[in-house]
Structure 1
């Protein structure tokens, strides 16, 4: 891991600068059911809240999954976008959008059973049909979100229900690759109704702000694998960010992003010292330092090259990135970029 404005440092020294980690799950701590290498070691002993856009599991289920992977977590240290969606929906209705003041609001839930439970806990009466004229449609990810469920949501939205999505991630990382995410199915309802939902999850800042308050953190670090949610959300909340290359966003996307992380790392544990980059004309030349696993070398090469490319992008210049002549480690690292 490399701080983009200074020399390289070890993961533990860098993370120790922060009093809390606000950590994404899918693609950062695990992919599907498999743990991400280095995540447990990087998180061990650190104050953390797990901030996830995945609304398919309850906080308790998430905590149990993490514990099974060796990351000791309490349900109170998990904040899901389903929880955020319930809070947002209640706020919208309280402000006069939808429900009649003073009545118990009704909700049609597109998503997992745990989402229905959270909605009930939040004060909603959950209904099973658009014919019951729900005040709000809460839309979260679930493998059971089929045509019939989405059509019922569309009917409710067209009838005037407030539409709230837990998140708009178009893909969901898994050990097999990127699966269809909640945002892709939200797009079907939007296409059918012409109504754009309110979104409760990342990249909005609210989840990060709530998580930081939960820990009483003054110097939190937002950690994730996805630029357009984790990093954009951390930036929106005014926090430093760490992008790990274990999930959705790849090296080349990060190289030309407007959501620029404070830090870049292969994962939450591994790091190599001594990598440098310099500009030579219209080329950024990467020189290797300590060598090791190719994925870690690729991350170090990106971390030192990115600030130069970002600065050039801001000037309207187009730079290429290449390895120093004869530097086989740097050549191997750049070849591993995705």
Structure 2
């Protein structure tokens, strides 16, 4: 448990950062992130960038980050393609043939794990690995389908149904995985978030014994951390909102909650959901009734609301005074009074 006064980043020996929604939005870094990550490094905490994207090599990801003035070495990037290759290598003999339904970067990871990537079903195929690739078509799915129906091990890099882009949410690897599920009746072994292998691979690469997962999605970043047995920080710079956070199931509840990554320099104990001395939150008539007790910090209030909502199951909120109303409005939790 964190002690009072310790900066959150100092409590852990490695920080496992999600990328899209946490570090950047598409081609643009989130303001302040480069400075925060630089400060974390200078304080001696290891940094890893953990992504479900299996279409880019670690070197490509590192280069993208450096283009945003965020220092990153190739060795600091952990992708779901790497995690999938690790899962395959742990279960197959060296040199086994693997049908790759995905990008050349995924095929390279399979080969790097001592296995033989192929694109077509054959008598010697032992497994299928599937990751996001914009070029995936029917012929690729057909080869994977044949191999899976013949009994091959099936590993999915991730099951994200959508992929965030500048044009909006587009089909992700999970949508393609769903097609093979429908065609085969089989279920894949999942390597990326919210499964544990990707987190374990990233932590091991940093020789970390106490890593912290940092992300913006409850269903992948936080759920994956829970599955892997890691503490987690949810930042509200991406997918999750205060409303979805209050309604989070136990398997998707973070250890810490903050508005942005700048919270990594704040005392860890202050970021944990729980009662807050500046706010009073009571459950009354199926609502969380909020009144201010000297604070106007909306995110302190959110941590107090999480504590009560997760205990009671009540997620509707009602302000008792103008300060509470203003804070709830900032959080997007306003309701008519």
Normalising TM by the smaller chain, what interval?
A: 0.7 to 0.9
* Partner residue, 1:156: 147
TM-score normalised to structure 1 length: 0.83
1:324 to 310, 320, 323: 320
Q: Is this contact kept in 1: 2:288–2:316, CA < 8 A?
A: yes
In the alignment, structure 1 residue 40 sits paired with structure 2 residue 34: yes
Alignment of 1:1-338 (within 5 A): 13-46=7-40, 47-94=46-93, 104-131=95-122, 134-257=125-248, 258=250, 259-269=252-262, 276-281=279-284, 282-287=286-291, 289-290=295-296, 297=298, 299-313=299-313, 318-327=314-323, 328-335=325-332
Alpha-carbon displacement from aligned partner over 1:7-59 (angstroms, at most 9, x marks no partner): 9x8xx932232222011112211232222233223322322111111111111
Question: Secondary structure at the residue paired with 1:241?
Answer: strand
Deviation at 1:311, TM superposition (A): 0.6
Q: Which has the higher contact order (CA 8 A, sep 6+)?
A: 1
Runs of 5+ consecutive residues of structure 2 not aligned to the other structure: 41-45
Q: Is this contact kept in 2: 1:170–1:180, CA < 8 A?
A: yes
Structure 2 CA distance for partners of 1:199 and 1:93, relative to 1, 3 Å: same
Structure 2 CA distance for partners of 1:214 and 1:128, relative to 1, 3 Å: closer
State the distance in 1 between where 2:330 and 2:133 align: 37
State the distance in 1 between where 2:280 and 2:73 align: 42
Q: Is this contact kept in 2: 1:49–1:79, CA < 8 A?
A: yes
Question: Secondary structure at the residue paired with 1:85?
Answer: helix
State the distance in 2 between where 1:265 and 1:276 align: 17
Question: Secondary structure at the residue paired with 2:16?
Answer: strand
Deviation at 1:307, TM superposition (A): 0.9
Runs of 5+ consecutive residues of structure 1 not aligned to the other structure: 95-102, 292-296
* Partner residue, 1:294: none
Q: Is this contact kept in 2: 1:173–1:248, CA < 8 A?
A: no
State the distance in 1 between where 2:197 and 2:116 align: 25
Deviation at 1:287, TM superposition (A): 4.8
Q: Is this contact kept in 2: 1:133–1:161, CA < 8 A?
A: no
Q: Number of matched residues? A: 313
Q: Is this contact kept in 2: 1:19–1:217, CA < 8 A?
A: yes
* Partner residue, 2:43: none
TM-score normalised to structure 2 length: 0.83
RMSD over aligned Cα atoms: 2.7
